[in-house]
Chain A
Amino acid sequence: MATTTEQRSDSEDAEDGVIAQWTKGVIGDDEKRARLYRALFYVACGFFLVTTLFPFYWLLVLALTPNSQILTGDWSLPVIGIEFPHPQGFNPQAFVEVFQQIPFHLYVFNSFVLATVTTIIVLLVASLAGYVFGRLDFPGKGPLMLGVLMVSYFPPAAFLIPLFDAFLGNAIVVPFLGIELFEPPRLVNTPGSMIMPFSALFLPLAIFILTTFYAQIPDGLEDAARVEGTTRLGALFRVIMPLSAPGVATAAVLTFIAVYNEYFFSSIMALENVPENWSPLVGGILSYQDQYTTDFNLMAAASIVGVIPILILVIVAQERIVSGLTAGGLKE
C-alpha cells in the first residue's frame, strides 16, 4: 500500500510545479511542516516587535536629534536615499533639559499618584463586587452586572460637563424641578476631581475581570478558610485574592496604565496646566509646546522618561503574574 502511494506521488511530482511540490512536502513531511511553522512564528513575532518597538525607536531618534535639525533636517538615509527616521547629531542633553525647562518630575509624580490611588480604590471595590457577583447568588444578579457593564459603554464625555459643574462647587440641582440637593465641595485642581471619575470609569472592567477569576476559586477553599478562622472578607483577601493573582494583576495593570495615560478629564479638572493643579504627565509633555515654538526633541525625551515608571511596573507585575500562575494549580 505504502509503496504504491509513493510511486504515484513520485510520478505526480514530476508534473507539478514548484509551489505544488512544496505544499505536498509540507503536508507530508513532518520536518518540513515544523520548519514552516517556525518560520511563520518568527514572521509573526517580527511583525509585532516592529510595530511595537518602532515608535520607541522613533521617539529615541527624535529625542537625540537637536530640535533645529528635526525641523529642517533631511531624513533621507545616507546611501539608499529613502526617508527613514535616523539620529542626526547626538544630543543626550535633551533628557536633562526636560527637567530644567519645566518641573517635569512633578507631572510624572502627579500621574503616578493618581494612577496608584485609583488602582487601589478600583481593586478594593472591584474585589468586593467581584466576590459578590462571582461567588454569591442573589436575585437581580444578572441585570445588576449588566448595569455595571453598561457604565463602561458610556462615552466619558457624557459625564464631563455635569461633573465639571459639580466639582466647581456648584449646587446639585434636580433637573426641571429646580430643587437644590446639596452643594459639593470644590474639587477642581485636586486629585479628588480626577480619581473619582477615573475610578468610576475603570471599575466595570475590573469588576468583570475579577468576577470571572473569583468565580473559579473552589468553594471548598473559601469554606476551609472560614472554618479555620476568617470571616468571608478575610477569606476574600487571604485566600481568594492571592489565588486570583493573575486576574488581580491584569486588572491592576490595565487600570494603572489607563489612568497614567489619561489626559481628557485631568486636562479639564486641572484648571491650569501646572503641576500644582495636579496636571498629569501628558500635560507636562504638552507644556514643551507654546504658541510659537514646539520642542519636539524635549517632548520625545519627556515621553521616554514618562514610560519608565510603567516599564518598571509591568516588569514587576509580570513577575507576579507568572509566579501566580505557577503557584496556582487551582485544583481543589
Chain B
Amino acid sequence: MARVSLSNVTKRYEDVVAVDEMNLDIKDGEFVCFVGPSGCGKSTTMETIAGLTKPSEGTIRIGETDVTKLPPKDRGVSMVFQNIALFPHMDVYENISFGLRLRKYDQDEIDRRVDNASEIVQLEGMLDREPNELSGGQQQRVAIARAIVRNPDVFLMDEPLANLDAKLRVHMRTELQRLHKQLDTTIIYVTHDQAEAMTMSDRIAVLNAGQLQQIDPPLVCYNEPANLFVAGFIGSPSMNFTDGELVDGGLTTEHYDIEFDTTELGISPGDEITAGVRPEDIYLTRNEDEVDSPSEVIEATTDVLEPMGDEIFVYLSLDGTSGSSMTSDEAAGASNQLLMSVDPDTEIDEDESVSIVLDRSKIHLFDTASGDALAHGIVDLSEAERTRAAAESRGQHE
C-alpha cells in the first residue's frame, strides 16, 4: 500500500504530446479512475506509472520512493491488462505464480499465496486448466489473481472489463469493489466508460488531450464540473449546452433568456458564455411545482421520444426544426436542441408544443472561450435583489 504521486509528468512522442505536465496525488488505499475519450493519454499515464513507458519529463513516486527510473519489476506495482494477457503456454497455477517464481519464493509460500489469491477471486479447482479453456470472466479473474498474489503496493488496471460482455462487466464491477474493500490497496483504474468510473471510484481523474481536467469524487465531477469538457463527458446522456452572451442582469441565447445576478461571476456583459443544464434538470411547466427555483418559461416543440422504461428522453426543438439523424450527444450540443428526461408516466407526444422551465440551481455557466466553469447554479435576480436589499438594510441598522 502506498500513495502515488506524479509531478509534471510529460510524455512526448515524435509529434504528439500524449501526457502534458500531469500532476496527481493519489492517496494510500484510494480507488482512482482515469477517464477520458480514446487518445486522451490515460493509458500512457498508467504505463508511465507501471514503468512500461519512460516519461519525457517529470517524476513519479510510489510511497516514498522515486520510481521514475526504475524498471517495472522493481516498482511494487501489478497490472491487469485490457487484453487480459495471460501467458498462453502456462496453466492457471503457473500464470498466477509467475511473479512469485521469478522472485524465488519457496514452494510452500507460493502454494499458500496462490491458494489464497485463487480463493479471493473464486478460482479454486481451476489451477491446472489452460487459459484457453477458461471463459472470458474466468480469464479476467486469473489476471486479477496474478496481480494480487504478489501483494503489490499499487494495482494498475487498464480497462480490465472492456473485453467482457455487458452482463459480466457489471458483475465484475461489483467484484472489483469488493476486492478493493477486502485488500485496501491503492487502485488506479483506467476506463473510457464513465459509468464504471462513477460507480467504483473514490475519485475520478478526467483527462483530455493529455491534460488533467479535474480530479474529484464522482458526484463532485457530476454536480460541479470544472469545465465544459468534464461537464460534457461525465453523465449520460450528456449535458445540454447553449451558447449565449452575458448581458446586464442575465444571459441571452438565441432561443431563450435567463435573468440572474451577474455581479458575482467576475466577467463583464458582452462576454460569451455557455449555459449547461442536464436533461433531468429540465421540467415541463405543468410540473413546475417540483422545482424550487424555476427559470423563465421556454417554449419548445417535442421532436423524438425515447422511452427507456424508467424515464423518457424527450428531444426538444427550440426553433421548430427537427434535429433528425442526431445522436443524443450531438443533440445535447446543438444550440437549438434540448434533451429532457421526464418520468415514464408523463403524457407527452411527438410534435407537441410544450413549455419548459430549467432548474436554476442546476444551471452551469461556462466561459465559452476558456471552457472554465463560472458558476454551478444561478440565483433568481429578484431573489438576489431581495437578499441584497436585506443585507443593505441590515448594514444600515448596524
> Within the complex, what minimum Cβ distance (angstroms) separates A313 from chain B?
22
Q: When the two chains form their complex, are residues B83 and A332 in contact, meaning their CB atoms are under 8 A apart?
A: yes
> Within the complex, what minimum Cβ distance (angstroms) separates B190 from chain A?
14
Q: When the two chains form their complex, are residues A223 and B79 in contact, meaning their CB atoms are under 8 A apart?
A: yes
Q: When the two chains form their complex, are residues A220 and B81 in contact, meaning their CB atoms are under 8 A apart?
A: yes
The residue on B at minimum CB distance from A330 is B88
Q: When the two chains form their complex, are residues A228 and B146 in contact, meaning their CB atoms are under 8 A apart?
A: yes
Q: Which residues of B contact A239 (CB under 8 A)?
A: 87, 89
> Within the complex, what minimum Cβ distance (angstroms) separates A75 from chain B?
53
Is residue A320 within 8 Å, beta carbon to beta carbon, of the partner chain?
A: no
> Per a CB cutoff under 8 Å, which of B77, B83, B84, B88 touches A243?
B88
> Per a CB cutoff under 8 Å, which of B77, B88, B103 touches A329?
B88
Q: When the two chains form their complex, are residues B73 and A226 in contact, meaning their CB atoms are under 8 A apart?
A: yes
Q: When the two chains form their complex, are residues B73 and A231 in contact, meaning their CB atoms are under 8 A apart?
A: yes
Q: When the two chains form their complex, are residues A327 and B89 in contact, meaning their CB atoms are under 8 A apart?
A: yes
Complex CA–CA separation, A239 to B102 (angstroms): 13
List residues of A (203-237) whose CB comes within 8 Å of B's CBs: 218, 220-221, 223-231, 234
- Given A234-B102, A329-B132; A228-B73 close (CB under 8 Å): yes
Chain B: interface size category: 20 to 34
- As a 0/1 sequence over residues 52 to 85 of chain B, the CB contacts with chain A under 8 angstroms (1 = contact) are 1000000000000000000111000111011111
Q: Which residues of A contact B102 (CB under 8 A)?
A: 228-230, 234
Is residue A147 within 8 Å, beta carbon to beta carbon, of the partner chain?
A: no
Complex CA–CA separation, A227 to B156 (angstroms): 10
Is residue A309 within 8 Å, beta carbon to beta carbon, of the partner chain?
A: no
Q: Which residues of A contact B88 (CB under 8 A)?
A: 243, 327-331
List residues of A (285-332) whose CB comes within 8 Å of B's CBs: 327-332
Complex CA–CA separation, A76 to B193 (angstroms): 83
- Given A242-B89, A330-B88; A226-B81 close (CB under 8 Å): no
- As a 0/1 sequence over residues 274 to 292 of chain B, the CB contacts with chain A under 8 angstroms (1 = contact) are 0000000000000000000
Q: When the two chains form their complex, are residues A224 and B71 in contact, meaning their CB atoms are under 8 A apart?
A: no
Q: When the two chains form their complex, are residues B99 and A228 in contact, meaning their CB atoms are under 8 A apart?
A: yes
Complex CA–CA separation, A218 to B163 (angstroms): 16
- As a 0/1 sequence over residues 155 to 176 of chain B, the CB contacts with chain A under 8 angstroms (1 = contact) are 0100000000000000000000
List residues of B (201-236) whose CB comes within 8 Å of A's CBs: none
Complex CA–CA separation, A223 to B52 (angstroms): 7
Q: Which residues of A contact B146 (CB under 8 A)?
A: 224, 228
Complex CA–CA separation, A242 to B50 (angstroms): 25
The residue on B at minimum CB distance from A242 is B89
Q: When the two chains form their complex, are residues B89 and A224 in contact, meaning their CB atoms are under 8 A apart?
A: no
> Per a CB cutoff under 8 Å, which of B51, B71, B73, B83 touches A218?
B83
Q: When the two chains form their complex, are residues A243 and B89 in contact, meaning their CB atoms are under 8 A apart?
A: yes
Complex CA–CA separation, A330 to B89 (angstroms): 9
Q: Which residues of B contact A242 (CB under 8 A)?
A: 89
The residue on B at minimum CB distance from A228 is B99
The residue on B at minimum CB distance from A243 is B89
Interface centre among A224, A234, A329 (most CB of B within 10 A): A224
Q: When the two chains form their complex, are residues A223 and B89 in contact, meaning their CB atoms are under 8 A apart?
A: no
Q: When the two chains form their complex, are residues B83 and A220 in contact, meaning their CB atoms are under 8 A apart?
A: yes
Q: When the two chains form their complex, are residues A224 and B73 in contact, meaning their CB atoms are under 8 A apart?
A: no
Q: Which residues of B contact A229 (CB under 8 A)?
A: 73, 98-99, 102-103, 150
Complex CA–CA separation, A327 to B133 (angstroms): 11
- As a 0/1 sequence over residues 278 to 289 of chain A, the CB contacts with chain B under 8 angstroms (1 = contact) are 000000000000
Complex CA–CA separation, A294 to B392 (angstroms): 127
> Per a CB cutoff under 8 Å, which of B52, B89, B103 touches A226?
B52
List residues of A (51-86) whose CB comes within 8 Å of B's CBs: none
Q: Which residues of A contact B103 (CB under 8 A)?
A: 229
Complex CA–CA separation, A231 to B71 (angstroms): 8
Q: When the two chains form their complex, are residues B85 and A221 in contact, meaning their CB atoms are under 8 A apart?
A: yes
Complex CA–CA separation, A231 to B52 (angstroms): 11
> Within the complex, what minimum Cβ distance (angstroms) separates B10 from chain A?
20
Where the two chains meet, the residues of B that have a C-beta atom closer than 8 Å to any C-beta of A are 50-52, 71-73, 77-79, 81-89, 98-99, 102-103, 130, 132, 146, 150, 156
| CB-based closest 5 A-B pairs | A332-B83, A220-B85, A228-B99, A229-B102, A224-B85
Q: Can you list 7 residue pairs at the A/B interface with Cβ under 8 Å? A: A220-B83, A223-B72, A224-B81, A224-B87, A227-B51, A231-B71, A332-B83
